[in-house]
Each structure stands twice: as C-alpha cells, then as structure tokens.
Amino acid sequence: MRTLFSLPRRHPYLSVSLAAHAALLALLYHFGTYQIQQAELRQVDASHQLASHANMRKRVTDMERIKELMRQSMGEEQGAAAEEPRFDATSAPEDKKELLALAESLSKEIEAMGRQLKAEEYAKLTGAKQLEAPAPPEAPIPAPGDAAATADARIAALEKSARDVLSQRQRQLERQERGVPVNGGRSEGEGGHGAGGGRDGSGTAGAGTPGTGAGTGNGGGSGTGSGIGQRIAAFVNRDLPSRNHASGRYGGSGPELFDRGVGHMSAVSEAGMRKGAGRKLGAGGEFANRLFVNSWYIIGPFEGKHGRGMFATDSYPPERAVILDAAYDGKDGRVLRWRYVETPSYPLVPPDSAEDSVYYGYTELMFDEAQDLAAWIGADDDVQVWVNDQKVWAGGNVNKLWFFNQVYDTQNNFVPTYNLSEGKVPVRFRKGRNKLFFKLSNGPTRVFFSMVLTPL
C-alpha cells in the first residue's frame, strides 16, 4: 500500500520542492506579516510610553502653575497674565529623573508656602505669635518596581498634594473676602438646555433655573472675587464646564439610552448668512459669520461601552496627551493612528464609524486677535469638548431625544444651514493658536459631531 511516507523514495524532487516552498512561505511570513505585526506592537508600546511621559510633563507643568498662583496670592506677583496653553506635547521629553527632581523641588516650595499661609492665618485669628507650621508627611513613595512607573506614580502623588495646597489657599481667600464659603450667584437659565452657568469671582457656578425651549443657558453669577481668586478658580475648575446642557436618547429600537427632555432647535435665518469652513479666522482666513470647524486629526474607534454605559466610557491615551505620530490598540484588535480629516460635507463623520465606540479629535484654530464667539455643539450620540485645555461642553446628560427626533424625523434644513446643534456656549479664543479637543462616544448606528462658530 502506498503511503505519504513513500513519497520521498518515489518522488524525491517533489518532496524537495514541497519542503523548499514551505520554507519560503515561512520566510515570507517572518519577514512580511510577522515583522509588520512586531513593528506595530513596538510602535504601540513606544506610543504608550510617550503618552505616559507627556502626562508626567503635564503634571509637572501644573505644579509650576500652582507655585506661580501661590506666589501671586501672597502678593509676590501681581497682575500676572492668564495661563497660556502649551503646544509642546510632542517635543523632545526631559529625562524622567529630571522631571521627578523638578517635581520634588516644586513640591517642597509649594508645601512651604502653604505652611507659611496657615501660620499667618492662625496668628491673625488668635493674636498669637506666628510660628512655623509643622511640615506635613511627604507624599507616599510607591513600592519598588519599574523605574518609569515609579516616577510616574511619585509625580502624580506630588501633584495631588500641590493641588490640595492650592485648594486650601482658595478656601482661605474665600474666608478672607466673605467669611464663609461662597455659594454660586443665582441666575435664570434660558431654554431647554438652560442651567445657569455663570461664575462668581471665586469660580463657583451659578445654580440657574432650567427654562423651556432652546437657549444658551449661560446666565451670569454676580460674585465679587479677587483677580487671583478668579485665576485660581479657573485653574482648579479647568474641567468644569461653564454651563449645563442637555444630551439625550437615541431613537429607534433597542435599549432606551436617552430621555425626551424639553427643547427645540434654534431657528437660523439664512438672510445675511455667510457660511464658511476651516480653521483660520481674521486676516487671511474665512470671511464668514457661521464657520464650520471641518478640519481635524481623528483617532478611533476605541472600544466603547454598551447602552447608558456610553456616558462613562474608559479613558484612552489621547485624553492624557495628543501625540500625532502615536499608535494605539483600538477596537477589535486594530492598530489606530491619527488621521487628518478635512471633510467637504457637513457634519463631521469620523472614519471607520462603528457602534459602541469612542473617537478623539484634535485641531488648532488661528485668530488674528482675541475674541469671544458662540460655539454651537451637536453630536450623535455624546461629546465632550475642550478649548485650550478648558472643558467647555461636558456631555453625559440624558435629555435630548427631542434633538434626535427633530434631526432624523422631521423635514428640515439643519444640514445646509450648519445647524445640527443641541445648544451653544460662549468661548473666549486667544490671539494666535488655540487648541480644540473632543471625545465622541457612539452607541447604536449613526455618529456625527458638529462644531460651528458664530458671533455672540
């Protein structure tokens, strides 16, 4: 009986040929697909390390800002300019040991200022002789392990301690000015999205009374806080939006993600409308009074959460640092990279749209002079937006089924008028470069993001 084992004896050249082809296929796999996969893994690992390092640099930068604010609050520096956004996330990083040494030095200076201020306040309250307050215990040192991870954890602990000192100083200033902690100035919200978002001098948000209909909801609190109090509040509350607004339920089958809410789309007159799209305003930019921000670096999809878990999705590396040449593990095991998207049509739909997914976007706007504009925001399903590291649109609420019903279930002109907007928020843009960043979460089916700028 002939068997496979008799082939080498009967057909020696065929056996050699099969073996050679098998070896060739193995080599092609090794130097082709396998090497590409290994290169991608190395790039993903390197990108995570860069993101971690950029996050350490950001923490140290925040500590530098805390030290500056503490000095200003003690009268050592007056009339300092507002914090400028940083654009050096992708520049050559300092050595981790250098960052840790700088963080240790900053921590000691900040703690010393905090102790001095406590001692001064105690002396004023009691009339006793001012004594040096005892030094607090140092921030806990992480257990031995990977040097980079240890440095990261140590810097994180030092930055938290520095923030605690600044928060104590903020409360001291409030006591000095008013004697008691400040409650937000009460303001009337306008519209279905309208919770008053005004801030008093110490940065406390006005409570506001929700209204009905579409409106801006940016009523102003009336506080009288000091300039340094305002600067400290702006830093401490950097991720606290200046207003509340609605977000809602997606229509269609499946689990209900949103509630109906109360609201309607604001009417937009086409008379005198000058539409534009781009990233530059002023000299050499768009001559428009309704500008669609259409050019973004986008990365995604990352794995999102199902159902209402969409509003509490995981944080991925782009939230910690925007590194445009980085690569990360994404949804379904794919390797993700930033892609530049300049969409010719409205609104912005991210590439590779997928359900239960998360996308990030980054861009920069150029202004020839500082100005205040209204940012009209809309998304399917939910979005958070930062301008110059300040969160201006929070997302996460569940009251905009009215929005989806009007967008998808009525005859309308929302697309040609750039008006897929849940609401608007006033935003201060600086002269020169301004950073914009969004996190877009999608549940079922469709996904889009709209940001349109108009005069206030």
Is the domain of 293 the same as that of 399?
yes
Is the domain of 260 the same as that of 396?
yes
Residues paired with 396 in a beta bridge: none
List the chain residues with pLDDT less than 50.
Answer: 90-92, 144, 180-225, 240-255
How do residues 365-388 score in pLDDT, each as one tens digit?
999 999 999 999 999 989 999 999
Nearest to 247 by CA among 319, 312, 311, 303: 311
pLDDT at 297: 96
Domain end call among 135, 152, 178: 178
Is the domain of 263 the same as that of 411?
yes
Would the pTM of this model clear 0.85, i.e. be above it? no
Q: Do 72 and 231 touch, CB atoms closer than 8 A?
A: yes
pLDDT at 385: 96
In a domain, 346, yes or no: yes
In a domain, 331, yes or no: yes
Domain end call among 130, 159, 178: 178
Indicate the residue type of 119. A
pLDDT at 214: 38
Please give the full DSSP string across 404-451, using - where no structure is assigned. Answer: HHHHHHS---TTTTT---SEEEEEEE-SEEEEEEEEEEE-SS--EEEE
pLDDT at 185: 38
In a domain, 303, yes or no: yes
d(CA 63, CA 70): 10
Please give the full DSSP string across 76-125, using - where no structure is assigned. Answer: SS-SPPPPPPP--TTSPPPPHHHHHHHHHHHHHHHHHHHHHHHHHHHHHH
d(CA 198, CA 189): 10
Domain end call among 119, 153, 178: 178
In a domain, 432, yes or no: yes
pLDDT at 434: 95
Is the domain of 431 the same as that of 294?
yes
Burial of 310 (0-12, 13-18, 19+ CB in 10 A): buried
Q: Provide φ and ψ at 433, rounded to 5°.
A: -80, 140
pLDDT at 375: 95
Q: Which residue is listed with tokens 């350490």?
A: 56
pLDDT at 121: 79
Indicate the residue type of 20. A
In a domain, 264, yes or no: yes
pLDDT at 381: 86
Q: Provide φ and ψ at 63, rounded to 5°.
A: -65, -40
Nearest to 358 by CA among 341, 336, 342: 336
Number of domains within the chain:
2
Q: What's the domain range around 73?
A: 61-78+91-178
Indicate the residue type of 120. E
Is the domain of 413 the same as that of 268?
yes
Q: Do 239 and 252 touch, CB atoms closer than 8 A?
A: no
Q: How far is CA 149 from CA 55, 92, 97, 216, 341, in A?
A: 12, 19, 12, 44, 34
d(CA 164, CA 119): 17
In a domain, 219, yes or no: no
In a domain, 314, yes or no: yes
Q: Which residue is listed with tokens 């296929």?
A: 25
Neighbour count for residue 85 (Cβ, 10 Å): 15
d(CA 1, CA 13): 21
In a domain, 194, yes or no: no
pLDDT at 394: 87
Is the domain of 138 the same as that of 274?
no
Neighbour count for residue 291 (Cβ, 10 Å): 24
d(CA 152, CA 145): 11
Nearest to 199 by CA among 223, 181, 180: 223
Please give the full DSSP string across 289-306, using - where no structure is assigned. Answer: SEEE--EEEEEEEEE--S
pLDDT at 201: 34
CATH number at residue 320: 2.60.120.380
Please give the full DSSP string across 206-258, using - where no structure is assigned. Answer: P--B--SSS----PPP-----HHHHHHHHHHTTTS-SSB----PPPSSSS---
Nearest to 328 by CA among 337, 315, 320: 337
